[in-house]
Chain A
Amino acid sequence: QSALTQPASVSGSPGQSITISCTGSSSDVGAYKFVFWYQQHPGKAPKLMIYDVNNRPSGVPDRFSGSKSGNTASLTISGLQAEDEAEYYCSSYTSTPSLVLFGGGTKLTVL
């Protein structure tokens, strides 16, 4: 199973919006609602930001939103803040065989 494809980096200025894409296949992202996004600051463990394509866990700001179209999922962060600067990883369930795939990660820089 190949990893999901994400852009290596994205950037934006405070207050702007950015979108990170995550491209998989009809066996993973395109097949299930089980798409997740994680935020990882340097030296820290990943933190769940979005689950089941477009749901936010309690405590995650509503500036973070998720969507999916076909085999590509997206994470949008609106009203960028300095604290959003981090690495972002998407992941998806796949049933052939049953396992979890991660994207390669996207480095978000807040200019």
Chain B
Amino acid sequence: QVQLQESGPGLVKPSQTLSLTCSVSGDSISDGSYYWNWIRQPAGKGLEWIGRIYPTGGTNYNASLESRVTMSVDTSKNQFSLKLSSVTAADTAMYYCARDISGWYGRFDAWGQGTLVTVSS
């Protein structure tokens, strides 16, 4: 059974870059036909899709965040990562990584437990 686990700093200063990693176990990122995604959720609010990455490194990002987002994949470590630059308090949220089993249509069948990132000085 696939498991995903987010990791990274829980506190980031305004204007700095948020960096998170998602470690995948029970499935090989490089073997499947899946896209790997980042999704966030501010406290008490709804879900926002951030973007997706394919094992070969191809990416798609939410247009509202595209100028600040970079995703990467390390198949040797079975991990993928998120970088969000120039963060503000509005980027404070629970960040989830998730597997899209449909390819890229948004069928997220496996999620990490989430990691809370707070942007504050």
Contact = CB atoms under 8 A, between A and B. Distances in A.
Q: Real complex partners, A and B?
A: yes
Interface of A: 1, 3, 32, 34, 36, 38, 44-48, 51-52, 57, 89, 91-93, 97-105
Contacts of A51: 102, 107, 109
A52 B63 contact: no
Interface string B56-87: 00001111000000000000000000000000
Main SS of the interface on chain B? loop
26 contacts: A3-B46, A34-B105, A34-B106, A34-B107, A36-B106, A45-B111, A45-B112, A45-B114, A46-B47, A46-B96, A46-B108, A46-B111, A89-B47, A91-B49, A93-B104, A93-B105, A97-B63, A99-B49, A99-B60, A100-B37, A100-B105, A100-B106, A101-B49, A102-B47, A102-B48, A105-B46
B25 interface: no
Contacts of B47: 38, 46, 89, 91, 102, 105
Given A45-B96, A46-B47, A105-B47, A98 B108 contact: no
